[in-house]
Amino acid sequence: MGKIWANSGDSHFVEPDDLFATHLPAGLAARMPRSVRDADGLWETVHVDGQQYRRRIPKPESGAMTDAEFADPHRRVPGAENIPLRLEDLDLEGIWSELTYPSMGAWAFCIRDPELALAGSMAMNDWALEMQQKSPRLVCAAALPLLAIDDAIREAMRARTMGLAAVSLPVRPGPADGHFHSYADPCLDPLWDVLDDLGLVIAFHVGTEPHTPETRTGIRDTGRGGAVLNYAETSFGGQRAACQLAASGVLDARPNLRVIVSEGGAGWVPFMADRLDEGYRQHSAAVSPKLSRLPGEILYEQVYATFQHDRRSSTTTATAQGYRNALFGSDYPHWEGTFGHTQRTLHELCDDLAPEVSHRLRIGAFAELFPHVPTPPADEP
Ligand code: MN
């Protein structure tokens, strides 16, 4: 079984514990996200800007993790923040280039103070740039402080100037208790104009809804089927955000603007495209704004979606449903991803596909989003 290469539209860095202490004044650093583990290692408390979130540490039933590794409070594989070790892992796994998101930084979407959100985003982006500069294979998404749109616009411009090519936005805009409720909100149009002008890709990672400790507890189902239901729930936020941008005309007015939804699978795109088109046609008297293309076509053309293990629904979007923008994502270095068995997963998903379809899913769709990334080595026979 020769090595076949893939780009990953869903990867992460795990930030060093002292990231904020070394990049921010002490008063601000203390309010940025940090995790404190219980003595038993099974639960953690995430502290963010005076809020506390309790959660059980996820551990897969099978896979690459030993009990000793699970007990490690950082659950870090060596490459989580060390670029030479990371590239060794990527070469072994057959991952060439990656779009990377923060890990602890995803909790920054729960911040409610615009000043802290801006300072924290700048610190994360400065650090992301340090990482990205160590290898041309890395595409690090910039965090945007969305609590104040002027701050978001300024930081997007700074990120582009620094050389970052994507911006990470939460799947629901605004803090849990106010501001924007939908990406269709016209007050966000100046941000879309700037992202479009700068050629920045909009990157949504599932599970990034801003929460309060109360709303997070509310969606954390601990009853029958809870763990599976919680995981299924994380799928919807990215779908909703993409649909808002398609139906509202945001993407129609900016046909070069591109969106990627990471870690949410790809099978939902054909389904949602049909739903949007049906709504557009069958409720046409109430539809506003009118679009130059059907909203489902907009979703197909401008929205990309990553999958990892999904054997039923992901590759068939490309082979049977005409969706060209599905792409692989490994979720490295998170344990719920394909680390340790990426080659097996890629072969299982792609070996029966036509070569051009397999290439599009593994390499081509990602390269279309980030054309500056070098071409991967040839696959092994
Ligand atoms: Mn991920």
For residue 375, being part of any structural domain is answered with: no
Structure confidence at residue 74 as a pLDDT band (50, 70, 90): very low
Asked, for residue 1, whether it belongs to a domain, the answer is no
How far does the centroid of ligand 1 lie from the alpha carbon of residue 155, in Å? 23
- pLDDT of res. 216: 63
Residue 351 — pLDDT band, cuts 50, 70, 90?
Answer: very high
Q: Calculate how far, in angstroms, residue 285's C-alpha sits from the geometric centre of ligand 1.
A: 40
What's the 10 CA to ligand 1 centre distance in angstroms?
5
> What's residue 69's pLDDT?
59
pLDDT digits (tens, 9 = 90+) for 106-162: 899 889 999 999 999 999 999 999 999 999 999 999 999 998 999 999 999 999 999
Does residue 353 lie in a domain region? yes
CA distance 100 to 332: 9
**Each residue's pLDDT tens digit, 172-200:** 987 655 566 899 999 999 999 999 999 99
pLDDT tens per residue, range 85-119: 999 999 999 999 999 998 888 899 889 999 999 99
CATH of the domain at 356: 3.20.20.140
In a domain, 49, yes or no: no
Q: Which helix (H) or strand (E) holds 44?
A: strand 43-48
Q: Report how many domains make up the chain.
A: 1
Alpha-carbon Rg for the chain in angstroms: 20
The Å distance, Cα 264 to ligand 1 centre, comes to 9
Report yes or no on 376 lying in a domain. no
Query: In terms of DSSP H, where are the helices of the chain?
Result: 19-23, 26-29, 67-71, 83-93, 114-132, 149-162, 189-198, 213-219, 226-247, 268-282, 295-302, 314-319, 342-350, 355-359, 365-369
Separation of 83 CA from ligand 1 center, angstroms? 18
Whether pTM > 0.85 for this model: the answer is yes
**136 CA distance to ligand 1 centroid (A)?**
20
For residue 328, how far is its CA from the centre of ligand 1 (angstroms)?
11
Range of the domain at 138: 6-32+78-369
User: Per the domain annotation, does 291 fall within a domain?
Assistant: yes
User: Please, what is the average pLDDT of the chain?
Assistant: 90
The predicted model gives 274-283 an average pLDDT of 97
- pLDDT tens-digit series, residues 187-240: 999 999 999 999 999 999 998 988 777 766 545 666 788 878 888 888 999 999
pLDDT value at residue 224: 85
Residue 142's nearest CA partner among 67, 212, 89, 126 is 126
